[in-house]
Chain A
């Protein structure tokens, strides 16, 4: 396995579904950070076979709602002095703002300037979200 230095203080986003780390990188605006960020793709995983990992060498506020929406199986470890001091648990967020877009051409979000795309969880069992404006279900 590719060797990436252990973090002394930072965040490890682990168990990311293989191939989706760059999407998370963009959604979490990690490109705007000054600190060192490592994106590891296709790391070996005993549970999934392959997984992605993101390591952030610094302390930032992670938008847990985005991560929970994308994949609530992802794990987040907060590192200090080289040790895991906290594991954050992800849940499906009740509301997702400006992460996904409504594709309904009849929806007000398709024509109104400056409007936020807001989706609400309508069925947690099947991870279904609906646009708050037109109630159309989000389709990936």
Chain B
């Protein structure tokens, strides 16, 4: 039995296999409408989430399975002080697979150690978000037909943005990646990503503060939101929240085939006017998220292909 806690739990060839399956599902979703009939997904969300939870639930329902779970810690036994270890041992008796989001970093790993069913990390604090990474990889591959030889700009909150950390760790395994890390000094990627991931693997990267100066060389622009919930200090959040706002004006200098990605939800970092730009790929990303989660659930449940 396998779980997905860290994006690196999957090898490059397993990711390829998963993305191929997700592409097949995208091409003919009806062919997969009953592959998980009789299976149950538990969504254990200790932290509010619209997109990720609904995406997981839609993925399971699309395959004929059913879902159960909770969407806030207040509506779970965590409010009575139950540990993650106890909760997962209980849920293991009710469901075949579970997706867990938790504000504490490492909670899904803790759960996986005690679980009898596969655990999918659906986001743990500011740490990892591997299914978002799979979604991002699927979208990049769909837009550029490859995952190597790309100049990828990551913009905004690179310090607390868990999707950014997971994406960097995954993309360094492909040849010819150049990262352009665009953020205010306070929100730069953590040292350990620079030292132990980028430098350790000899990956080309640059850290800059100005988006306009670098946008013309990007193949992918990955925008992120400055997340209020990651700050202990409201003043710091207010000071940094409007650091980068992508507008049609800034998009004029971007390559005609650059793709804009965003894990969503956005606040104001991408102006609404940019939604009409054909390079805006963030809603396609949402759709891909469902397909890739379907593929992942199938893989972890060892369900036969349609």
Q: Does A111 contact B (CB under 8 A)?
A: yes
Question: Could you tell me which B residues sit within 8 Å of A by CB distance?
Answer: 83-85, 102-107, 109-110, 124-127, 192, 195-196
Pair A108/B107 contact, Cβ less than 8 Å: yes
Q: Whose C-beta in chain B lies nearest to the C-beta of A126?
A: B195
Chain A's interface size range is: 20 to 34
Question: Could you tell me which A residues sit within 8 Å of B by CB distance?
Answer: 104, 106-115, 122-123, 130-137
Pair A133/B110 contact, Cβ less than 8 Å: yes
Pair B196/A132 contact, Cβ less than 8 Å: no
Q: Contacts A122-B196, A123-B196, A130-B192; is A111 near B104 (CB within 8 Å)?
A: yes
Pair A134/B83 contact, Cβ less than 8 Å: no
Can you show 12 pairs from A to B with CB atoms below 8 A apart?
Answer: A106-B104, A108-B106, A108-B110, A110-B104, A111-B104, A132-B106, A132-B109, A133-B106, A133-B109, A133-B110, A134-B125, A134-B127
Closest-CB distance, B3 to chain A (whole angstroms): 14
**C-alpha gap A113/B106 in the complex (Å):** 14
Q: How would you classify the secondary structure of chain A's contact residues: helix, strand, loop or mixed?
A: loop
Pair B106/A114 contact, Cβ less than 8 Å: no
Q: Which 8 A-B pairs have the closest CB atoms?
A: A133-B106, A134-B105, A108-B104, A108-B106, A108-B107, A106-B125, A134-B106, A106-B105
Pair B106/A107 contact, Cβ less than 8 Å: yes
**C-alpha gap A99/B109 in the complex (Å):** 20
**C-alpha gap A135/B85 in the complex (Å):** 20
Q: How would you classify the secondary structure of chain B's contact residues: helix, strand, loop or mixed?
A: mixed
Residues in chain B near residue A135, CB distance under 8 A: 105, 127, 192
**Which of these, A106, A107, A112, A133, contacts B85 with CB under 8 Å?**
A112
Pair B109/A112 contact, Cβ less than 8 Å: no
Pair B83/A133 contact, Cβ less than 8 Å: no
Closest-CB distance, B167 to chain A (whole angstroms): 16
Given A114-B85, A137-B192, list of 18 further CB < 8 A pairs?
A104-B105, A106-B104, A106-B126, A106-B127, A107-B104, A108-B84, A108-B105, A108-B106, A108-B109, A112-B104, A112-B107, A122-B192, A130-B192, A131-B106, A132-B106, A134-B105, A134-B106, A134-B127
Closest-CB distance, A135 to chain B (whole angstroms): 7
**C-alpha gap A106/B85 in the complex (Å):** 17
Q: Whose C-beta in chain B lies nearest to the C-beta of A123?
A: B196
Residue among B84, B102, B104 having the largest count of chain A Cβ atoms under 10 Å: B104
Closest-CB distance, A137 to chain B (whole angstroms): 6
**C-alpha gap A123/B106 in the complex (Å):** 21
**C-alpha gap A136/B85 in the complex (Å):** 21
**C-alpha gap A108/B121 in the complex (Å):** 14
Residue among A108, A132, A135 having the largest count of chain B Cβ atoms under 10 Å: A108
Closest-CB distance, B201 to chain A (whole angstroms): 14
Q: Contacts A104-B105, A106-B126, A107-B105; is A112 near B196 (CB within 8 Å)?
A: no
**C-alpha gap A40/B84 in the complex (Å):** 45
Pair A112/B103 contact, Cβ less than 8 Å: no
**C-alpha gap A112/B124 in the complex (Å):** 14
**C-alpha gap A130/B109 in the complex (Å):** 15
Residues in chain A near residue B192, CB distance under 8 A: 122, 130, 135, 137
